C-alpha cells in the first residue's frame, strides 16, 4: 500500500454535478448488487449479440485515403479504362541460383509454381493473373539479365494492406512449401512483393496485439501488487478494467453495423486491427489511474474514522469531478481526430475516446461497487491508520517519517524555495532535445518497419540481387485525352516521346509502354535483326494492346498506360522523390504550349503513388489535429481551473514535453538502428501528440486542483508545498502504471510500435517526474510570489 494517503483533487463542484455525484454515490453504496448485475448482464448480452471484433475490423491504409487524392483518381481511371486488369497489389516469387545460371530443372519448377497459382487452378485466392517466364510478351523480362534468377508474379485484386492478405499470404506459403521437396538443389526461393509486405505487416500487427494485451495485464498486475500489497485491491481495478475493455470493444464493434439499420445508411463507422492496441493500453493505463485515485481517497476517508459505506460514498462524490475532468481531456483530444482526412485517423480517434468513456463509467460504478462488497477485506492483509474524525492535517514530522512522502516533501520545499533557478535549469537541460524534436524525420518505408528475418524482407533482398528494386511495385502512369488519338500514328509518336522522357530519368530503370512493351531502351528499331523483329512482334501483340491502350468503346484511343520501374523500393523516400520528378515533368509538358499536351491529363497509380498521397494527407492531418487538440484541451482545462495564465502554462509544459520526447526518441532509435534508420514511423508524431497532450494534462489537473484546495486553507506557498507532497506518491504510481502499459507495445515485432511505445512511455515518465513535480510547481511558486508577498518556506533541517 502507499504509505501516505493522498486526496485526489476535488474541484469545488456545486449544483447539478454535485447532486449527480451524490446520487451516484448512494446508488453504488446502497444498490451495489444492482450495479454489478447490470455490468454482468450487459457484458453477457454484448458477448451474445455484438459481432466479434476481428469479424468487423478493416485494414489497408491506402483504401482510406480521401477521394480527391491523386492515386485514388488514378486508380479510378485505371479501373475505368482497363477493367480487365484489376490488380492492386502483387506477390512475387523469386527463384535464384547464386553464382551460376539457371538450369532447365529450375525453369521447370518455376512453371510448376505458376500452374499452381493460375486463376483456374481451383484455389480461393484473389489472383487475377499470373505472370511467368512463359507469359507472352512480358515473360522474357521476368528473367534477370545475368540469367541467375526468374520471377513468378501473382497479381491480386486486394489492396496491399487488405486484411485478407494475411490469409492469402499463408495460403501461398503453404502451396509453395508443399512443393519444397521438388525444389532443385542449390536453388534459392523467396517471397516478396507489395502484398507480401502488407500481409507480413498485418501479421506483425496481430502478433503485437496479443503480446501487448498479455504484457499490459501482467505489468499492471505486478505494479498494483507492489503499490497495494493487498490481493483484493489488485483484483478490483483489474476486474473493472477487464469488464470495460470487453464492453467497450463489443459496443464499438456493434456500432460498425449501425449502417445496416434502415434510416442509418449514412452511417460509415469503421474500426481497424491496430486500433485495439491503443484501446487496451489506454484503458488499462487510464482505468488503473482512475481506480488508484478513487481507492486512495476511499482509504483516506476510512482513516478519518468514517464508516465504510459513508467513506466510499464521500470518496466517490469528491473524486468524481476530478476523474471526469481527467478523462474528458483525453476523450476530447482523441475526438479531434474525427476532423482528419485520413479515414483510419477519423475513425480510430473517436472509437478510442468512446472506449475510454466506458472505462471511466466502470471505474466510477463497478469498481466502487466491488469495493463496497469487499468491505474490510479489501485492504487485507494490510491495516489502516485511524486519524481524528475531523480532518486534522498531518504534521511536518509525520510527513517526513515516511520515505515517499519525505522525498516529495524535500522536492516540494526545494522547488518552492528556488522556483526561478529550478525552472531555468530544468528547461536549459531539456531544451536541446526539444530543439531536436522540432525537426524529426519520419518515414513511410513499410519494408523497413519489419524485422530483417521476415520472409518478405528476405525475399526483397534476394530480388534486389538480380532485379531493380522497383520491380515489386511499378508506378503506373496514365495519359488521358478526351478526344482520343493515342491509337493513331501521331498518338504512338507521343507515346514514344513520353516513354523516352521517362526512361532518361535518373531514378527510372526501365519503362514498359505501347511502344516499348518489353521495357527496352527507346530508339531505332532494326527490322532485319532478331531483336528488332521480336520488338515489332511484341508491339503488335494483342496482349500489348489490351495492356497499354484502352479498348473500352467510350474511351477508344483516349487512355494509354506506362509501367515505370524505378531503381528504388516502392515504399522508400527515394521512390516518392522520383514520383515528384515524374509529376513535375508532366506539368512542364502541359505548360509547354504544345497543343496536343495542353489538353492531356496525366494520372498516377500504384503503391508508390498511394504512399506519397499518404504522406501528404498525414502531414496535413497532423497540423490540423495538433491545432484542434491544443484548442480543445485548453478549453477543457479552462472550464475546470478557470485560471488563464496557469492553463496556458500547462499547455506549454506538455507541448515542451512532447518535443523533448520526440527528440530523445529519434536519437535513441537512430543510435539503435544505425544506417537502416530513415526516420521515425509516420504514425508516431500524431498519436504521440494526441495522447501525450491529453493524458499529460491528467496529472496536471490532479496536481493543480489539489494546490487550489490546499491554498484555500494555507498560505499560497505552503499550500503548494503540501499539494506537491500529498499528491506525489499517488501521481507517481499512476504515471508509472501508464508508462508501463505503453511500454508493453514494445513487445511486438513492428519497429513503428517499438518507437511509439518507447515515446509514449518516455513522455508519460517525463510528465510524471519532471513536468508535474518540478516545472509546474516552480511556475505556480513564481505566480504565488508575485501575487502574495510572504516568507519563503525554508528547507527542512537535516
Going by C-alpha positions, the residue among 363, 234, 279 that lies closest to residue 742 is 279
Q: How confident is the model at residue 4 (pLDDT cuts 50, 70, 90)?
A: very low
Please tell me the predicted confidence (pLDDT) of residue 138.
80
From CA 686, how far away is CA 691, in angstroms rounded? 9
Mean pLDDT for the chain overall: 84
Q: What are phi and psi of 81, to 5 degrees?
A: -85, -30
Place of cell 482497363: 82
Q: DSSP readout, 484-512?
A: --TTSHHHHHHHHHHHHHHHTSTTEEEEE
**What pLDDT, on the 0 to 100 scale, is given for residue 561?**
93
In this structure, how many other beta carbons lie within 10 angstroms of the beta carbon of residue 27?
Answer: 17
| pLDDT mean over 778-782 | 91
318: pLDDT strictly greater than 80: no
| Plot region of 642 (φ>0 → left; ψ -120 to 50 → alpha; else → beta) | left
Question: Which range is least confidently modeled, 104-108, 177-181, 200-204, 507-511?
Answer: 200-204
Separation of alpha carbons 761 and 655, rounded Å: 16
CB 556 within 8 A of CB 484: yes
Q: Which of 375, 383, 381, 405 is nearest to 393 (CA)?
A: 405
pLDDT at site 86: 63
Phi, psi of 92 (to 5 degrees): -115, 125
Q: What are phi and psi of 559, to 5 degrees?
A: -135, 130
Measured distance CA(295)–CA(315) in Å, rounded: 8
Residue with cell 449502417: 259
Pairing, β 127-131 against β 149-156:
antiparallel
Alpha carbon separation from 221 to 199, 227, 371, 425 (Å, rounded): 33, 10, 18, 37
Indicate if the pLDDT at residue 360 is higher than 90.
yes
Q: Which of 58-72, 408-422, 641-655 has the lowest mean pLDDT?
A: 58-72
Burial level of 784, CB count in 10 A (0-12/13-18/19+)? buried
The larger pLDDT score, comparing residue 390 to residue 440, is at 440
Cell digits of residue 680: 521515425
Closest CA to 600 of 740, 679, 490, 468: 490
- pLDDT (0 to 100) of residue 539: 81
C-alpha cell at 753: 510500435
What is this structure's pTM? 0.83
* Structure confidence by residue, pLDDT tens digits, 444-487: 887 777 888 888 889 988 998 998 888 878 899 999 998 888 98
Beta-carbon contacts of 445 under 8 Å, excluding residues fewer than 6 positions away, are: 569, 571, 572, 573, 678
DSSP string covering 310-351, please? Answer: HHHHHHHHHHHHHHHHHHHHHHHHHHGGGG-SSHHHHHHHHH
Phi, psi of 190 (to 5 degrees): -140, 155
Asked whether the beta carbons of 462 and 190 are under 8 A apart, the reply is yes
Question: Could you tell me if 666 and 688 are in contact, meaning their C-beta atoms sit under 8 angstroms apart?
Answer: no
The helix (run of H) or strand (run of E) holding residue 90 is: strand 89-96
**93, β-bridge pairs:** 152, 191
15 vs 424, higher pLDDT: 424
Residue in this structure with the C-alpha cell 488499462, named with its chain if needed = 284
Residue 365 C-beta-side C-alpha neighbours within 13 Å: 21
For position 208, what pLDDT does the model report? 79
Task: Give the integer Cα–Cα distance in Å for 712 and 611.
Answer: 56
pLDDT band at 11 (very low <50, low <70, confident <90, very high): very low
List, in order, residues 6 or more apart from 383 with CB less than 8 Å away.
Answer: none
Please state, as a whole number, how many other Cβ atoms lie within 10 Å of the Cβ of residue 770: 18
How many C-beta atoms lie closer than 10 Å to residue 240's C-beta?
A: 28
Q: What is the reported pLDDT for 44? A: 95
| Farthest CA pair distance, the chain | 109
Close Cβ partners of 377 (under 8 Å, ≥ 6 residues apart)? 232
Burial class of 167 by CB neighbour count within 10 A (0 to 12, 13 to 18, 19+): middle
300 to 2, 474, 771: CA distances (angstroms):
11, 66, 26
Higher-confidence residue of 39 and 706: namely 39
250 pLDDT tier (thresholds 50, 70, 90): very high
Buried b (16+ CB within 10 A) or exposed e, 68-87: ebbbbbbbebbeebbeeeeb
Range of weakest confidence among 112-126, 311-325, 708-722, 744-758: 311-325
**Separation between Cα atoms, residue 630 and residue 607, nearest integer Å:** 34
Place of cell 466479434: 52
> Can you read off the three cell numbers belonging to residue 170?
499463408
pLDDT of residue 792: 45
Query: What are the C-alpha distances in Å from 9 to residues 88, 439, 599, 702, 783?
Result: 55, 37, 67, 5, 20
Neighbours of 528 (CB within 10 A): 7
In the prediction, which pLDDT does 411 show? 85
With 70 as the cut, is the pLDDT of residue 399 above it? Answer: no
Please give the order of strands across the beta sheet that includes 188-192: 127-131, 149-156, 89-96, 188-192
The CA distance from 655 to 230, in Å, is 37
CA atoms within 13 A on the CB side of 336: 28
Question: 3-state SS string over 106-135?
Answer: HHHHHHHHHHHHCHHHCCCCCEEEEECCCC
How open is the CA angle 238-243-245, to the nearest 5 degrees? 95
**Band of pLDDT at residue 15, cut at 50, 70 and 90:** low
Instruction: Give mean pLDDT, residues 83-106.
Output: 87
Strands (E), 472-611: 475-480, 508-512, 559-566, 601-605
Q: State yes or no: pLDDT of 769 exceeds 80.
A: yes
Residues 6+ apart with CB under 8 A from 255: 269
Summarised one tens digit per residue, pLDDT across range 549-574 is 998 888 888 999 999 999 998 888 88
- Contact by Cβ (8 Å): 194, 157: no
Backbone phi, then psi, for 565, in 5-degree steps? -95, 120
Of residues 661 and 589, which shows the higher confidence score? 661
Start-to-end Cα distance in the chain: 27
Cα angle value 418/420/424 (rounded, 5°): 120
Distance CA 431, CA 426 (A): 9
CA distance 416 to 423: 11
Q: In what order do the strands lie in the sheet with 508-512?
A: 508-512, 559-566, 475-480, 601-605
pLDDT interval class at 7 (50, 70, 90): very low
Gap between the Cα atoms of 176 and 606, Å rounded = 26
Confidence of residue 10 (pLDDT cuts 50, 70, 90): very low
β-pairing, 188-192 vs 89-96, is: antiparallel
Cα dist from 698 to 391, 415, 427, 642, whole Å: 26, 21, 21, 16
pLDDT over 90, % of the chain: 35
Amino acid at each position: 500500500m502507499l504509505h501516505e494517503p493522498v486526496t485526489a483533487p476535488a474541484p469545488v463542484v456545486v449544483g447539478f454535478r454535485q447532486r449527480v455525484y451524490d446520487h451516484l454515490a448512494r446508488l453504488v453504496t446502497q444498490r451495489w448488487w444492482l450495479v454489478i448485475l447490470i455490468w454482468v448482464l450487459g457484458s453477457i448480452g454484448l458477448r451474445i449479440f455484438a459481432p466479434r471484433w476481428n469479424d468487423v475490423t478493416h485494414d489497408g491504409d491506402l483504401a482510406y485515403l480521401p477521394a480527391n487524392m491523386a492515386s485514388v483518381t488514378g486508380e479510378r481511371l485505371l479501373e475505368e479504362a482497363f477493367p480487365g486488369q484489376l490488380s492492386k497489389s502483387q506477390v512475387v516469387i523469386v527463384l535464384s541460383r547464386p553464382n551460376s545460371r539457371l538450369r532447365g530443372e529450375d525453369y521447370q519448377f518455376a512453371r510448376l509454381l505458376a500452374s499452381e497459382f493460375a486463376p483456374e487452378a481451383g484455389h480461393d485466392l484473389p489472383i487475377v493473373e499470373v505472370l511467368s517466364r512463359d507469359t507472352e510478351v512480358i515473360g522474357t523480362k521476368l528473367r534477370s539479365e545475368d540469367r541467375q534468377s526468374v520471377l513468378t508474379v501473382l497479381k491480386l485484386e486486394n489492396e496491399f494492406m487488405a486484411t485478407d492478405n494475411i490469409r492469402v499470404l499463408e495460403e501461398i506459403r503453404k502451396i509453395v512449401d508443399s512443393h519444397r521437396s521438388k525444389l532443385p538443389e542449390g536453388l534459392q526461393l523467396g517471397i516478396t512483393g507489395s502484398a507480401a509486405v502488407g500481409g507480413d505487416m498485418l501479421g506483425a500487427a496481430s502478433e503485437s496485439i496479443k503480446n501487448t494485451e498479455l504484457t499490459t495485464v501482467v505489468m499492471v498486475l505486478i505494479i498494483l501488487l507492489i503499490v497495494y500489497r493487498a490481493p483484493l485491491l489488485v483484483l478490483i481495478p483489474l476486474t473493472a478494467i477487464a469488464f470495460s475493455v470487453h464492453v467497450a470493444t463489443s459496443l464499438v464493434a456493434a456500432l460498425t453495423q449501425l449502417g445496416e439499420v434502415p434510416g442509418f445508411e449514412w452511417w460509415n463507422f469503421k474500426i481497424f486491427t491496430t486500433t485495439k492496441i491503443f484501446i487496451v493500453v489506454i484503458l488499462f493505463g487510464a482505468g488503473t489511474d482512475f481506480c488508484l485515485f478513487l481507492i486512495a481517497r476511499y482509504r483516506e476517508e476510512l482513516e478519518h474514522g468514517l464508516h465504510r459505506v459513508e467513506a466510499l460514498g464521500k470518496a466517490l462524490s469528491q473524486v468524481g469531478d476530478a476523474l471526469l475532468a481527467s478523462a474528458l481531456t483525453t476523450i476530447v483530444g482523441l475526438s479531434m481526430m474525427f476532423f482528419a482526412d485520413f479515414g483510419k485517423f477519423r475513425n480510430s480517434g473517436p472509437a478510442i475516446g468512446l472506449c475510454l468513456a466506458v472505462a471511466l463509467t466502470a471505474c466510477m460504478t463497478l469498481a466502487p461497487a466491488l469495493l463496497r462488497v469487499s468491505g474490510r477485506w479489501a485492504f487485507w492483509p494490510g491495516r489502516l491508520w485511524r486519524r481524528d474524525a475531523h480532518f486534522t492535517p498531518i504534521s511536518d514530522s509525520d510527513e517526513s517519517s515516511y520515505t515517499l512522502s519525505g522525498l516529495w516533501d524535500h522536492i516540494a520545499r526545494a522547488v518552492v524555495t528556488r522556483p526561478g533557478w529550478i525552472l531555468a535549469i530544468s528547461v536549459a537541460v531539456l531544451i536541446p532535445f526539444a530543439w531536436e524534436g522540432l525537426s524529426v524525420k519520419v518515414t513511410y518505408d513499410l519494408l523497413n518497419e519489419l524485422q530483417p528475418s521476415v520472409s518478405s524482407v528476405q525475399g526483397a533482398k534476394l530480388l534486389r540481387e538480380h532485379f531493380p528494386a522497383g520491380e515489386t511495385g511499378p508506378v503506373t502512369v496514365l495519359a488521358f485525352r478526351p478526344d482520343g488519338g493515342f491509337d493513331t500514328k501521331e498518338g504512338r509518336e507521343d507515346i514514344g516521346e513520353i516513354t523516352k522522357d521517362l526512361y532518361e530519368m535518373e531514378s527510372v530503370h526501365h519503362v514498359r509502354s505501347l511502344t516499348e512493351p518489353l521495357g527496352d531502351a527507346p530508339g531505332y528499331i532494326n527490322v532485319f535483326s532478331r531483336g528488332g523483329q521480336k520488338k515489332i512482334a511484341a508491339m503488335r501483340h494483342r496482349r500489348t494492346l489490351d495492356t497499354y491502350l484502352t479498348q473500352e468503346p467510350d474511351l477508344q484511343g483516349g487512355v494509354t498506360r506506362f509501367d515505370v520501374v524505378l531503381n528504388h523500393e516502392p515504399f522508400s523516400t527515394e521512390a516518392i522523390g522520383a514520383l515528384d520528378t515524374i509529376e513535375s515533368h508532366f506539368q512542364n509538358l502541359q505548360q509547354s504550349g504544345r497543343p496536343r499536351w495542353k489538353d492531356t491529363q496525366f494520372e498516377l497509380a500504384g503503391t508508390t503513388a498511394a504512399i506519397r498521397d499518404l504522406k501528404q494527407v498525414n502531414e496535413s492531418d497532423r497540423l490540423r489535429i495538433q491545432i484542434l487538440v491544443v484548442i480543445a484541451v485548453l478549453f477543457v482545462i479552462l472550464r475546470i481551473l478557470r485560471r488563464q495564465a496557469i492553463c496556458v502554462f500547462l499547455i506549454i509544459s506538455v507541448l515542451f514535453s512532447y518535443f523533448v520526447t520526440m527528440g530523445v526518441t529519434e536519437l535513441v532509435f537512430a543510435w539503435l538502428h544505425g544506417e537502416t534508420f530513415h526516420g521515425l514511423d509516420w504514425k508516431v508524431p500524431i498519436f504521440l501528440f494526441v495522447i501525450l497532450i491529453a493524458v499529460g494534462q491528467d496529472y496536471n489537473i490532479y496536481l493543480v486542483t489539489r494546490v487550489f484546495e490546499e491554498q484555500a486553507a494555507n498560505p499560497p506557498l505552503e499550500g503548494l508545498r503540501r499539494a506537491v507532497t500529498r499528491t506525489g506518491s499517488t501521481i507517481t504510481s499512476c504515471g508509472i502504471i501508464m508508462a508501463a502499459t505503453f511500454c508493453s507495445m514494445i513487445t511486438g515485432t513492428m519497429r513503428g510500435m517499438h518507437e511509439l511505445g518507447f515515446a509514449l512511455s518516455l513522455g508519460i515518465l517525463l510528465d510524471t517526474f519532471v513536468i508535474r513535480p518540478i516545472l509546474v510547481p516552480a511556475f505556480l511558486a513564481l505566480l504565488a510570489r508575485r501575487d502574495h508577498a510572504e516568507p519563503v518556506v525554508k528547507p527542512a533541517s537535516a
